[in-house]
Amino acid sequence: MFESIAFYIFSVLTITSFVVVVTTKNALYALSSLAAGMILISGFFFLLNADFLGVVQIVVYTGAVMALYAFGMMFFDTTETLRESHANPRVVFALSGMIAIILVVMLVAPIASTHVSALYPMVEGVGNSEAVGMVLFTKYLIPFEVAAVMLLVAMIGGIVLAGKKMDKSLTTSEQGEVK
Amino acid sequence: MITLNHYLVLSGLLFSIGLVGVIKRKNLLMLFFATEIMLNAVNVGFAAISNHYGDLSGQMFAFFIIAIAASEVAVGLGLLILMYKRKSSVDLDTLTTMKG
């Protein structure tokens, strides 16, 4: 009963905030509603007994990713409203049709495989965080290390790409305001 | 009663919203937002299937998707800042330099 109520409330709020993200013309509204949607998504994880995933969702997405986007938006001129122009509606129509067909195939494909059994079943009497740790550091140790290396590479890449000539201002130097 | 299908339908809906954003947006920052929505929608589907089968592999995949999303944001924002330095705009149409 409570699961149904929570599910429908979270669903409506999440879909509303994500629709605001893709339709609004103001970049600040899009950022705020994206952060709200990320926090609401973590509600689904708590409903699905994935407590650790929900906490990671809040910490990583609304803590790190949203802060990074907010920091990135300071570089760009986001006060003006975005303008969206569509020159060729025929291309959009063809692309939408193809993507719809691919989505239907992707969503229907799992019906063919009905005999699915748990590869790493959840252990009774163990909390979600302990179970996640046990599986992550035994079965998925190598992907975990590779993900760590990938994050390091991404960090170095971000520093190298964005860090050049950081001492010069991006937005005000063209108007000659910065001496 | 909420079943697996409810969560999968929700996941598909959120993914479609993100897809609409990817097709519609011309501003590259908004395009990144739409990709974040799609990654989150897939995470919800993975967590739902993990709960349904009593298997932790779905949650593991969701963790790796979160790691990939974090590194995508780092590299993507670096490229975006570089593009803003070159073109002084984050519009996707300014990248069409070839006549085709």
Q: Residue B35 domain-assigned?
A: yes
Mutation target among B20, B66, B85 for the A interface, most CBs of A within 10 A = B66
B20: domain CATH number? 1.10.287.3510
Instruction: Say how many domains are in chain B.
Output: 1
Among B29, B33, B59, select the one facing A53 at the smallest CB separation.
B59
- Return mean pLDDT, chain B: 86
Asked if B88 and A61 come within 8 Å (Cβ–Cβ), the reply is no
For the segment A159-169, what is each residue's pLDDT rounded down to a tens digit?
888 777 666 65
For the segment B36-63, what is each residue's pLDDT rounded down to a tens digit?
999 999 999 999 988 888 888 888 999 9
Q: B93 contacts in A (CB within 8 Å)? A: 85
**Is the pLDDT confidence value at A109 over 50?**
yes
For the segment B16-35, what is each residue's pLDDT rounded down to a tens digit?
899 888 888 888 888 899 99
The shortest C-alpha distance from A143 to chain B (Å) reads 8
Asked if B17 and A64 come within 8 Å (Cβ–Cβ), the reply is no
Q: Longest C-alpha distance within chain A, in Å?
A: 69
Range of the domain at A59: 1-82
Identity of residue B63: F
Q: Residue A118 domain-assigned?
A: no
- Per-residue pLDDT averaged across A52-76, rounded? 86
Residues A1 and A73 placed together within one structural domain of the fold: yes
In angstroms, the Cα distances linking B80 to A36, A112, A177, B16, B75 are 24, 42, 24, 25, 9
Q: Residue B61 domain-assigned?
A: yes
Tell me the sheet residues that pair with B27.
B91
Burial class, A125, CB count within 10 angstroms (exposed 0-12 / middle 13-18 / buried 19+): exposed
Name the phi and psi angles at A125, rounded to 5.
75, 10
Burial class, A17, CB count within 10 angstroms (exposed 0-12 / middle 13-18 / buried 19+): buried
Instruction: Say how many domains are in chain A.
Output: 2
| Helical segments of chain A, H only | 2-23, 27-47, 51-56, 66-73, 89-108, 128-136, 141-162
- Per-residue pLDDT averaged across A87-109, rounded? 79
Asked if B64 and A69 come within 8 Å (Cβ–Cβ), the reply is no
Among A122, A150, A158, select the one facing B67 at the smallest CB separation.
A150
